[in-house]
A and B are shown apart, each in its own frame.
Chain A
Amino acid sequence: MLDDFFTRALVAGVGLALVTGPLGCFVVWRRMAYFGDTMAHSALLGVALSLVMEINLMVGVFLVAALASVALIIMERRRALSTDALLGILSHSTLALGLVMVAFMTWVRVDLMGFLFGDILAVSKLDIAVIYGGGAVVLGLLIWLWRPLLAATVNTDIAQAEGLKPERSRLIFMLLMAAVIAIAMKLVGILLITALLIIPAATARRFAGGPEMMAVLAAIAGALSVIGGLTASLQFDTPSGPSIVVAALALFLVSLMPSPRAGTDDRATETKP
C-alpha cells in the first residue's frame, strides 16, 4: 500500500496533523504563534549547521530550534526588549543566517525550496516510520504533561502555587515544539509549519466546549486539511505543501460561518479580569 507515492504522502501528512493539532492548541492558547514561527525559521540554520558538521538533519534542526527557544526565554527574562521585537530579531536573523550559510556551501547540493516549502510527495517509508514513531512520543509526552501545561496556560501563578512546576512544563513544551518542527520540515517546509499548528486549532475552537475536545477536533481538522490539500494538489497540479495550508484555511473559513442556532454569546467577552 505504501508503494504509491501519493499514499505515502497521505499517510505521512495525516500522521503529522494528528500531532500538530493538539500541540497547536497550546500554541494558540499561549499566544505563541510568532514564537512557533521563530522556532521554525531557525530550522534553516539547523539545516545549514547539520550540513557543516555532518550530523543528521533532524537532530540538527531539533537542537537549533530548542536552542532558539531557550535563547528567547533567557532574553525575555532580561527584559531588554519586548518579546515581540526579540522574536522578530531571532526569527529573521536565524532564517537569513541559514540562507547565507547554505549559499556558502557550494560543495553540497541543497534543495532550498524543499526545505522552505517541503516536499511531501517525496517521503520514504523510513520518513513515515520517523513521523509515526516521533509523533507517538510527542503525543505521549503531551498527554503526560497535559494537566500541568494546561494549568500553567490558564495561570502560571496558580500552577506554581499548587505545585505543578509551570517552568518545567513550559520547557518540555518548547522541546516538543522543536521535535515537531524537526519532523515536519520535510513535509510542509520551514515556512509553512506554523500554519499546520495554528490553523486547525483555530478551526477547532468554534466547535469545542473544552480543551480536550478542541485538541481532538484540531487533529481531525488537520487530517482533513492534509487529505483535501493533497487531493487538490494532485487534481490541479499545485505545490503540495501550500495546497495543504490552503485547504486548512478553507476549513477555517467554513468554521467562521454563522451557525443556524446563532450562538454568539461565547464571543462576547474576550478575557476576564
Chain B
Amino acid sequence: MLKKQSPSPETAGEMLVEMHNAGVSRSGRWLVRGVDLSVRRGEIVTLIGPNGSGKSTTAKTAIGVIQPNEGHVHRAPGLRVGYVPQKVAIDWTLPLTVERLMTLTAPAGSAEIKAALAAAGVAHLAGRQVAALSGGEFQRALLARAMLRKPDLLVLDEPVQGVDFTGEAALYELIREIRDRTGCGILMISHDLHIVMADTDTVICLNGHVCCRGAPQSVMDSPEYRKLFGTRAAEALALYRHHHDHTHLADGRVRHADGTITEHCHPEDGHHHHDHACASDTPAKGANNAR
C-alpha cells in the first residue's frame, strides 16, 4: 500500500511519468514542442501558461491520451491514472447520478464511494443528477471520482475552474490532502497564469515550449498579494512569479535577454533556476503578453 511521502522533490519516490523532448503537432503546426517533464510519487507539478500554450496537450500526452509526434513519454508500468479533464459535457439525455459517476471507469464498493464523496465534501450530493450540479460541485464530484481509483498519478486540468475564491482555496487544500494521504503524484494545470498551489514542488511555465521552471516563490508576505486575496488564503495559494529570459516577437522570432534574435526558442534556451529574486518592477505578465 502507498505510504505517506515527503513532498519535497529531492526525497520523492519512484518516477511515475517522464517526458523527453516531447512534441505534438496538428496539421503542420506544433502545439507544443521540446517538453521535458517528470512527475514522481508524492510530487505536485503545476503547468501554467497562457491560453493555447499547450498545457492540456502536454498533460494529455503525459497520460497517453495523445501520442507525441516527436520525443518520447515513459510511464511507469501498470501506472494507474486518475484524470479530471478540463471540460466534461454530459448530455442531458444521459441520466447519471453523482453516485453512478463514481463507478464510471471501475467498480467500487459503496463504502469506498461514500468515503471519496465525503472527502471531496459532496457526500450530500450522492443521489443528485450530475446535470443539476453547480460548477464547483461538479468539479468536486469529478475529483472524488478520480481519487476513488486510488491512482498513482492524478492529473487535474484546471481543477478549480468555475469555483469561487473560497471554494478554490478549499479545493487546493483537498488536493494537497489527497497527495499527503495517498502519496500519489499530481500533475495539475492552473487556470490562472500566476496563481499556483503553495504545495507545488515544481512549476512549469509553457508557451508552446517550456519557458521556465522552478519552485514557486512564496509571496505570502507580499503586501499586494495580501491585499488581493486576503491573509487567510495565503496558506493554500501562492503567487509564482516567473522571469522570462526571452520574448516572443510578433513575427514568430524570439528575442533573448542578451538582445540576440533567433528563429526559434529551443527548449534549452528557457531553462533557468529560480534561485534569484525576481525583479518585482517587471511583472511577468508583460513578458507573456508580448507575443
Chain B binds chain A? yes
Among the 9-residue stretches B30-38, B90-98, B222-230, B260-268, the one with 4 or more Cβ atoms under 8 Å from chain A is B90-98
A59-95 CB mask vs B (1 if < 8 Å, else 0) is 0000000000000000000000000000000000000
A239-273 CB mask vs B (1 if < 8 Å, else 0) is 00000000000000000000000000111111111
Bound together, the chains give a CA A115 to CA B43 distance in angstroms of 62
Bound together, the chains give a CA A191 to CA B88 distance in angstroms of 34
Partner among A31, A151, A265, A272 whose Cβ is within 8 Å of the Cβ of B105: A151
Q: Does B83 lie at the interface of the complex (its beta carbon under 8 Å from any beta carbon of A)? A: yes
Interface residue ranges, A against B (CB under 8 Å): 28-29, 31, 147, 150-151, 153-155, 157-164, 201-202, 205, 208-211, 213-214, 265-273
Partner among B85, B92, B105, B149 whose Cβ is within 8 Å of the Cβ of A147: B105
Are B104 and A29 touching (Cβ within 8 A)?
Answer: no
Chain B residues near A160: list those with CB within 8 A. 64-65
Bound together, the chains give a CA A160 to CA B135 distance in angstroms of 24
Bound together, the chains give a CA A5 to CA B131 distance in angstroms of 46
Most chain A CB neighbours (cut-off 10 Å) among B88, B105, B131: B105
B126-139 CB mask vs A (1 if < 8 Å, else 0) is 00011111010010
Dominant secondary structure of chain B at its interface with chain A = loop
Are B94 and A269 touching (Cβ within 8 A)?
Answer: no
Task: Tally B residues with Cβ within 8 Å of A.
Answer: 36
Given the known inter-chain contacts A29-B91, A158-B85, A161-B81, please indicate yes or no for A151 contacting B104, CB distance below 8 A.
yes
Most chain B CB neighbours (cut-off 10 Å) among A153, A154, A159, A162: A162
Chain B residues near A162: list those with CB within 8 A. 81-83, 105-106, 149
Bound together, the chains give a CA A20 to CA B136 distance in angstroms of 37
Are A272 and B106 touching (Cβ within 8 A)?
Answer: no
Chain A residues near B89: list those with CB within 8 A. 271-273
> Which residues of chain B (110-160) have a CB below 8 Å from chain A?
129-133, 135, 138, 149, 155
Cβ distance A24 to chain B, nearest Cβ, rounded Å: 11
Are B133 and A272 touching (Cβ within 8 A)?
Answer: yes
Chain A residues near B107: list those with CB within 8 A. 147
Most chain B CB neighbours (cut-off 10 Å) among A151, A155, A158, A272: A272
Chain B residues near A269: list those with CB within 8 A. 92, 131-132
Closest 9 A/B residue pairs (Cβ): A161-B83, A162-B105, A271-B89, A29-B94, A270-B92, A161-B63, A160-B65, A208-B95, A151-B105
Given the known inter-chain contacts A158-B83, A161-B155, A162-B81, please indicate yes or no for A29 contacting B135, CB distance below 8 A.
no
Are A31 and B106 touching (Cβ within 8 A)?
Answer: no
Are A153 and B131 touching (Cβ within 8 A)?
Answer: no
Q: Which residue of B lies closest to A272 (CB)?
A: B138
Bound together, the chains give a CA A157 to CA B104 distance in angstroms of 13
Cβ distance A111 to chain B, nearest Cβ, rounded Å: 36
Chain A residues near B162: list those with CB within 8 A. 273
Cβ distance B161 to chain A, nearest Cβ, rounded Å: 8
Bound together, the chains give a CA A209 to CA B132 distance in angstroms of 13
Subset of 30 A-B contacts with CB under 8 Å: A29-B91, A29-B93, A151-B105, A154-B88, A154-B90, A155-B88, A158-B83, A159-B105, A162-B82, A162-B83, A162-B106, A208-B95, A209-B129, A211-B94, A211-B96, A265-B132, A266-B95, A266-B132, A267-B92, A269-B92, A269-B132, A271-B89, A271-B91, A271-B92, A271-B131, A272-B88, A272-B89, A273-B135, A273-B161, A273-B162
